[in-house]
Amino acid sequence: MKTILVFVLLSVSLISLSCKKSSTLQGPDDGSGQPAVYLAVGNQYNWDYAHVHSGIRIDYEQADTISRDSIINGNRYFKFSTGELIRASGDTVFAYKDAAQIIYYRMNVSVGQTVEFLGYLLAVIDVEIDTVFQHPQRVIYVSNEASPPDTLIHGSYTAIFGVLSYGKQYGTSSVGQDLVGARLDTVTYGMMP
């Protein structure tokens, strides 16, 4: 099971698909002063999901779109078709859940640091410049693998595209998701339906 999750995590870093680039898409790593992730109404994301339970694996693909924006407590959040409300400010991405704002992740981190990632406290296990959809950028890898938890969690994220992968293993079950494509400002990266 751990092998599946490691494969899911590492597969994103190996994705190198033919796509167009846009010089208008920038992230905080380039000194542009842009927020930690590129959010705009109409952006689309294509995810590969895998669920494994007692040796049975189910794979599927799902698209997610930013359908609109909303002002909540004076902050502009972007609503995804999955219902998530996300906003970026400086190097931090926030989510609005259960009538409260939580930190989704931060970009200004270093290896060994404990960080929040999608509501979990995880350790930064690697930070490297990698190519994501032929776009070199700083990728942050997080995990709780150094501690002996009942649940193993891995993830990765970057500027511009946001969360690249997420995997969770508990008992004989595991779930994982990988970003396999995005459409930002009508520019397509990777595989889109």
> Does some domain include residue 28?
no
For 139-181, the pLDDT digits (tens) are 999 999 866 668 899 999 998 899 999 999 988 899 999 999 9
Q: Is residue 184 part of a domain?
A: yes
Which pLDDT score is estimated for 36? 80
pLDDT for res 135? 86
Work out the pLDDT band at 193, boundaries 50, 70, 90: confident
Beta strands 114-117 and 162-170 are unpaired
* Residue 110 structure tokens: 């270093």
pLDDT tens-place string over residues 66-123 = 999 999 999 999 999 999 999 999 999 999 999 999 999 999 999 999 999 998 899 9
Residue 25 in any domain: the answer is no
Q: Is residue 105 part of a domain?
A: yes
Q: For the chain, what is the domain count?
A: 1
Question: Is 26 contained in some domain?
Answer: no
Answer yes or no: is 27 within a domain: no
- Does residue 47 belong to any structural domain of this protein? yes
> How far is residue 161's CA from residue 176's CA, in Å, rounded to a whole number?
17
pLDDT surpassing 50 at residue 17? no
Question: Rg (Cα) of the chain, in Å, rounded?
Answer: 16
Residues contacting residue 124 through CB under 8 Å, at least 6 positions apart: 109, 110, 111, 112, 113, 114, 115, 140, 141, 142
Structure confidence at residue 3 (pLDDT): 38
User: What is the extent of the structural domain holding 44?
Assistant: 2-20+33-190
